[in-house]
Amino acid sequence: MGPIKETYVDVLIIGAGPAGLMMAVWMAKCGISTRIVDKRGTKVFSGQADGLQCRTLEIMDSLGFGHRAWRESNHMLEFCMWSPDEAGRLRRSDRIADTTPGLSRFQQAVLQQGRIERFFLDEMAECSDIRVERAVMPTSLTIDEAVVEDPDSYPIVVALRHLTEEEATPKHTTAAANGQPVHDGLFRSNLTKDDTAEMLALSKLNEHAGAEQIVHAKYVVGADGAHSWTRRQIGLSLEGDSTDYIWGVLDIVPITDFPDIRMRCAIHSADSGSIMIIPREKKLVRVYVQLTTTAKVGDEAGSRADRSKINPDIIIAEAQKIMAPYQISYQTLDWWTAYQIGQRVGTQFSVHERVFLAGDAVHTHSPKAGQGMNVSMQDTFNLGWKIASVVKGQTNRSILKTYESERRKVAQDLITFDHKFSRLFSGRPAKDDTDTEGVKMEDFKDAFMKGNLFVSGTSVNYGASAIVAKAEDPSAQRDGIDALSGDERGCLISDQALAPGLVVGMRIPSVKVLSQADARPWHLQELLPSNGRWRVLVFPGNVQDQKQADRLTSVANNFDSRDSFVARFTAADGPIDAVFELLVVHKAPRSAVTIFDFPPVFRRFSDVEGYDYDKIYVDDVSYHEGHGNIYQEFGISEEGCIVVVRPDQHVSYVGSLRKPEAVTQFFSGFMVSQVK
Amino acid sequence: MGPIKETYVDVLIIGAGPAGLMMAVWMAKCGISTRIVDKRGTKVFSGQADGLQCRTLEIMDSLGFGHRAWRESNHMLEFCMWSPDEAGRLRRSDRIADTTPGLSRFQQAVLQQGRIERFFLDEMAECSDIRVERAVMPTSLTIDEAVVEDPDSYPIVVALRHLTEEEATPKHTTAAANGQPVHDGLFRSNLTKDDTAEMLALSKLNEHAGAEQIVHAKYVVGADGAHSWTRRQIGLSLEGDSTDYIWGVLDIVPITDFPDIRMRCAIHSADSGSIMIIPREKKLVRVYVQLTTTAKVGDEAGSRADRSKINPDIIIAEAQKIMAPYQISYQTLDWWTAYQIGQRVGTQFSVHERVFLAGDAVHTHSPKAGQGMNVSMQDTFNLGWKIASVVKGQTNRSILKTYESERRKVAQDLITFDHKFSRLFSGRPAKDDTDTEGVKMEDFKDAFMKGNLFVSGTSVNYGASAIVAKAEDPSAQRDGIDALSGDERGCLISDQALAPGLVVGMRIPSVKVLSQADARPWHLQELLPSNGRWRVLVFPGNVQDQKQADRLTSVANNFDSRDSFVARFTAADGPIDAVFELLVVHKAPRSAVTIFDFPPVFRRFSDVEGYDYDKIYVDDVSYHEGHGNIYQEFGISEEGCIVVVRPDQHVSYVGSLRKPEAVTQFFSGFMVSQVK
């Protein structure tokens, strides 16, 4: 063997599950030099996490593959609650929309993790040379603390080792989430055509087995699951506890006379426990079954259930008891597992803003709300563009602190929600109004409906920081972690009243608008693909009103001036829209104006490609898809407003057309001047 | 060299353009042994036909790739008419929806043919082993007329020869539609990632060059273009004539101050001719420019224009004249061609119902209405399932006659439309009301709006035959070609009044319905994928009305009986739904019933997979996508009705719930008994 290979990379991602893949796709979209390694020899093929929340689908859409997930997934439309009637007989006590109408253009859907990983892998391959290096395990990680604040340094050194095929093949019990495949034939039977190349690659692992190499990285993201190796290396831990509830999970093709088996259902039996039913794609149904076993390994508090005593026969037998008098059985079992609810969150999400943890590595909770994979992917969706912009020299390292301030609060909220929802779900239903120990079905329904907004992922509201220009509210960041002081933020505060429907800190809702140039309807979010760009949306109102037209002109003149954010923070030798994209959504009748009625900065001219036709939109009625009424939906008045949207679609700033210079003030708070 | 290889195949397709690929995908979906050969070495990469009509998108969706076309294409929303005002200055005289709202869930869109071919190739690969054999040319075709009526015979013998790379590389002028690439670099620059494998394969052609083989086929489909080799072999010809109008076509990235360049436009200049503007994907715009040159090759009537005198410089100069005072130029030219309008249609579409012609091989016309590729694909979409069902022994050969009776009428209608539209479009605009020689813009608009329905492809109405149970109307088949006599059809006539919105002979319109089992909204057409199956849709009305419930039960009993169409025409050793799929769309409130309130024939039970949850639908309001109101849209009364839909989504029969036996009578007219 020759000398150990040493290489340099901007970003090293450890773990190629959903959180790691989301990070990798961001890096691919932003053109950042990146490696991603995973100790497993292949991707996931069946079972495991599978809920796709509205916001996750919106994010996937922004990455270019939302339509694939939407098309292949099972859509869940209705949530049915079953509980005993007064005679103790199980009946449907209520039914409501599974996703509250109006929250998003997508609704909750279900698809197995293997397909979701496939979409990420395909998208990465489509737009970069980044590939997951499988059967590669990190063996050491050191940080040179002396240089962590130097943006150009590579302070992290990671040693990697190639595993043998045997080492890299999941033992199934250790794969993740306690999963155990039924048998190997089933495991392989879940392969789709897309995945055959993966399996072939597995058999080539041994060519490299045992080889070691050293990687020098600017940033490392540990997305390596609940038992995170990265977390141990950097000395962080999770805090929280477990409950006594033990749940079994079966993915089966059910044979049943239960009429709502294709609905999402919560079934509370009188005294045999509860079931959650999640209908899936390809006739599969996932059932979460509360188990009555209390056998534990060890006696101390917090000890774990003895899962060796749990098997699919036990789980289906419990299910049968809960669902009686309906029958349930199966001949096809795709996957199963058992778990004990544990709710834990990391005390810190990074060290030195150089090594970051994401996903299960910093928060664990029960899977029934379908939150785990979603929140994990959303962690790195938050982190990715920030690291990319720092690596590219566009922004200061200071914005990296907002990863922890923004995402730790979400993790804590999730734990709180999970705690409450799990207890209501696991509890015995109240027999009558006097039964104060039981769970009242009305309370459960109420919690479900309130939780609906939370679990959709669309209610996440990031606290004030350099990149969220709003008034300080320490409680908004839970533990009081303030990303940046008021000084650093230059104390720029949004004028939220100009667009009450567009909450600063939240993701921008999607409403249909029409392209001025070709009358095509677009969902606003479709105009904000995830490519690392900031968007400045100008809502000038009715530009046939001379006052508004004049204001738009002065905004355009400001944006086009030599000391505007565009000129100061965009490299002179790159494309003019490399960092900022300027969009207009006006409210004059579409047919009354053309793009030539708008300032040139919104329809830039190129000698080769002519005018840019994709920057001017209108709030008007479409021929085939109704009228979005975006001004009304966002509560924007005749006065109009300016909105700054982050690369992750969260609203940073809302301000007046009369203060276009505030946009430059905002970006000056964290961006690096490109003027030489 | 060894002996010449001889092989047997059910279907041999000659030509892998859109018509040939549609045929091949049908064969792939139906599992028919098929070969498809093309003399070109690679697929199309740029230029050529590119309009996608509503019906074509519906068909692509039924084949599993409509979403890809819809996503990648440019959607055309508005049609703008420009002509001189009274002062002779060009101005927008009118604007209307490019696709009449309500015609279809899709609207007209534009995408280059290379991508469309890619979708077909991918779908073929996804569901079969059929692959296009490129650089393979037929050299002889003979038919053994003695055995043409024997369904099991292989009466056609075709000799094939492998070409060299040089022979198989399009000379560009001969590629199709007179296309000439600008230069070779541009040609390759249009390659998408998906296509690189094609280019690599091209260089391997010479391995097989010169090899010959003999194919024995049951059926041959000649989809080999306007200069069809197949057509010559079987001695058929096209009839019709050319006009003097000559058009140039440019695919450019325009540099222009014309405000409607991203709209579909018709521009009539005062006396410099006309332009049609078709905005396309990726900033491209196609301009059809009427040329004033009248130079011809030869003097005789019908001689063709001398295209050697036409080049892009001449075309853009003419465009500039027509569009003045607006400027138009380009730096990027993707493709160009020139053509003379010729309208011709084949006298016959097949010989012995063994060798069929489709697409440009049997009809040619001007491309401006974007009809060519669409009608061509729809030819083989009509033919494919018929041949498949005959090859499988499900139906008599007699139904093959309906290919000509149904499609020749469409070709004739197309020629008539094209003739009228071309003249209105090519003509000089009238100066005022007294200018009777000029074209009045109101007449042009009127023709456009009337033509809108025609060009959408949704108005095709097939005449009476064994597979379209309606009253005889000889004129409906134009030249009076009657596919089958009244006797053969058993004179079954639909009761059209039971569903006036569902016209027998036309494609079934799409309206949203909800799945009873999971409340998910589906477009009705999504429930009718193209897989060769017939559908029997039962509309029982409100099944909470006991009378209607009883009628549904008697329909179910009839369908489930031993002498029903299901039992008689489905092979006992195959799946019960191999030939017929039974669907219900009821009108009781969704929440008032479950699938168990419906007869078992609509929710069949399997020991392995449990109940079938995908056959019962309801006309009710959805949570997120409104209410389709299908009963109202189709004009179905409380009485309900039974509807038979062909594998190509055309309505065959509408009848009463009280006469379920009529369905068996209908299928008995052309199906082969499977009872042994």
Q: How confident is the model at residue A157 (pLDDT cuts 50, 70, 90)?
A: very high
pLDDT surpassing 80 at residue B73: yes
Contacts of A627 in chain B (CB under 8 A): none
Residues 463-502 of A with CB under 8 A from B: none
pLDDT higher at A205 or A519: A519
Mean pLDDT for A631-646 is 97
pLDDT surpassing 60 at residue A337: yes
User: What is the distance between the alpha carbons of residues B258 and B264, in angstroms, rounded to a whole number?
Assistant: 12
Q: What's residue B454's pLDDT?
A: 86
Q: Does 3.20.20.70 match the CATH number of domain B74-107+242-297+305-341?
A: no
Contacts of B67 in chain A (CB under 8 A): 67, 71
Looking at chain B, the domain(s) classified CATH 3.30.9.10 span: 74-107+242-297+305-341
- Cβ distance B256 to A610 less than 8 Å, yes or no, reads yes
Indicate the residue of A193, A279, A622 with minimum beta-carbon distance to B518: A279
Q: What's residue B49's pLDDT?
A: 61
User: Which residues of B does the annotation mark as catalytic?
Assistant: 50, 280, 288, 367
pLDDT surpassing 80 at residue B35: yes
Is A563 marked active-site? no
pLDDT surpassing 90 at residue A531: yes
Residues 278-297 of A with CB under 8 A from B: 279, 283
Q: What is the overall mean pLDDT for chain B? A: 88
Q: What's residue A205's pLDDT?
A: 66
Query: Of A248-252, A537-541, B19-23, B539-543, which gets the smallest average pLDDT?
Result: A248-252
pLDDT surpassing 50 at residue A527: yes
- Write the pLDDT tens digit of every residue in B349-376: 999 999 999 999 999 877 666 677 899 9
- Give the 3-state secondary structure percentages of chain A, helix then strand then coil, rounded to 5: 30, 25, 40
User: What is the distance between the alpha carbons of residues B280 and B300, in angstroms, rounded to a whole number?
Assistant: 38
> Within a 10 A sphere around the Cβ of B17, how many other Cβ atoms?
28
Indicate the residue of A283, A594, A623 with minimum beta-carbon distance to B77: A623
**Does residue A256 sit at the B interface (CB-CB below 8 Å)?**
yes
Number of A to B CB contacts under 8 A, please give it: 110
Q: How confident is the model at residue A260 (pLDDT cuts 50, 70, 90)?
A: very high
> Which of A281, A91, A69 lies closest to B613, judged by CA?
A281
Contacts of A621 in chain B (CB under 8 A): none
Contacts of A71 in chain B (CB under 8 A): 67
Q: What's residue A58's pLDDT?
A: 98
Mean pLDDT for A498-522 is 97
Quick check: A443 and A393 in contact, CB under 8 A?
no
CATH topology for A5-73+111-240+344-418 is FAD/NAD(P)-binding domain (3.50.50)
Q: What's residue A183's pLDDT?
A: 36
Residues 13-72 of B with CB under 8 A from A: 67, 71
The 3-state secondary structure of B388-442 reads HHHHCCCECHHHHHHHHHHHHHHHHHHHHHHHHHHHHHHCCECCCCCCCCCECHH
Query: Of A380-384, B227-231, B440-444, B480-484, which gets the smallest average pLDDT?
Result: B480-484
- Cβ distance A609 to B253 less than 8 Å, yes or no, reads yes
pLDDT surpassing 80 at residue A411: yes
Contacts of B254 in chain A (CB under 8 A): 610
- Write the pLDDT tens digit of every residue in A116-142: 999 999 999 999 999 999 999 999 999
Contacts of B526 in chain A (CB under 8 A): none
**Does residue B129 sit at the A interface (CB-CB below 8 Å)?**
no
- Cβ distance B97 to A193 less than 8 Å, yes or no, reads no
> What CATH class is the domain B496-669?
alpha beta
- Cβ distance B623 to A99 less than 8 Å, yes or no, reads yes
pLDDT higher at B630 or B454: B630
Mean pLDDT for A383-394 is 98
- Cβ distance B624 to A101 less than 8 Å, yes or no, reads yes
Contacts of B95 in chain A (CB under 8 A): 591
Q: Which amino acid does the sequence have at A10?
A: D
Percentage of residues of chain A with pLDDT beyond 70: 87
Q: How confident is the model at residue A163 (pLDDT cuts 50, 70, 90)?
A: confident
Nearest residue in chain B measured CA to CA from A517: B262
Residue B124 has which token pair?
Answer: 């073929």
Mean pLDDT for A16-43 is 94
Q: How far is CA B340 from CA A188, A301, B120, B305, in A?
A: 58, 88, 30, 7
pLDDT surpassing 90 at residue A170: no
Q: Which of B193, B518, B591, B595 is the best mutation test for A, with the most CBs of A within 10 A?
A: B518
Q: Which helix (H) or strand (E) holds A279?
A: strand A274-279
- Cβ distance A256 to B596 less than 8 Å, yes or no, reads no
**Does residue A193 sit at the B interface (CB-CB below 8 Å)?**
yes
Indicate the residue of B67, B101, B126 with minimum beta-carbon distance to A623: B101
pLDDT higher at A307 or A398: A398
Nearest residue in chain A measured CA to CA from B127: A193
Contacts of A254 in chain B (CB under 8 A): 610
10 Å CB burial of residue B529 (0-12, 13-18, 19+) is middle
Give the minimum alpha-carbon distance from B450 to chain A in angstroms, rounded to a whole number. Answer: 18
Give the minimum alpha-carbon distance from A143 to chain B in angstroms, rounded to a whole number. Answer: 40
Give the contacts of A289 (CB within 8 A, at least 6 positions apart): A247, A248, A249, A250, A273, A275, A315, A316, A318, A319, A322
Mean pLDDT for A249-254 is 94
Looking at chain A, the domain(s) classified CATH 3.40.30.20 span: 496-669
**Single pTM value for the model:** 0.92
Mean pLDDT for B495-509 is 97
Q: What is the overall mean pLDDT for chain A? A: 88
Q: How confident is the model at residue A247 (pLDDT cuts 50, 70, 90)?
A: confident
Mean pLDDT for A460-479 is 79
- Cβ distance A517 to B622 less than 8 Å, yes or no, reads no
Mean pLDDT for A401-416 is 92
Residues 311-370 of A with CB under 8 A from B: 331-332
pLDDT surpassing 80 at residue B106: yes
- Write the pLDDT tens digit of every residue in B112-130: 888 999 999 999 999 999 9
Looking at chain B, the domain(s) classified CATH 3.50.50.60 span: 5-73+111-240+344-418
Q: What's residue B2's pLDDT?
A: 65
- Cβ distance B262 to A518 less than 8 Å, yes or no, reads yes
Mean pLDDT for B276-290 is 91
Mean pLDDT for B382-393 is 98
User: What is the distance between the alpha carbons of residues B586 and B479, in angstroms, rounded to a whole number?
Assistant: 41
> Which of B645, B663, B657, B654 lies closest to B510, judged by CA?
B645
Quick check: B601 and B560 in contact, CB under 8 A?
yes
Residue B203 has which token pair?
Answer: 């260089």
Indicate the residue of A75, A97, A519 with minimum beta-carbon distance to B78: A519
pLDDT higher at A204 or B56: B56
pLDDT surpassing 60 at residue A219: yes
Query: 3-class DSSP state for residue B459?
Result: coil
The full length of chain B comes to: 676
pLDDT higher at A570 or B166: A570
Strand positions, DSSP E, A347-492:
350-351, 355-357, 363-364
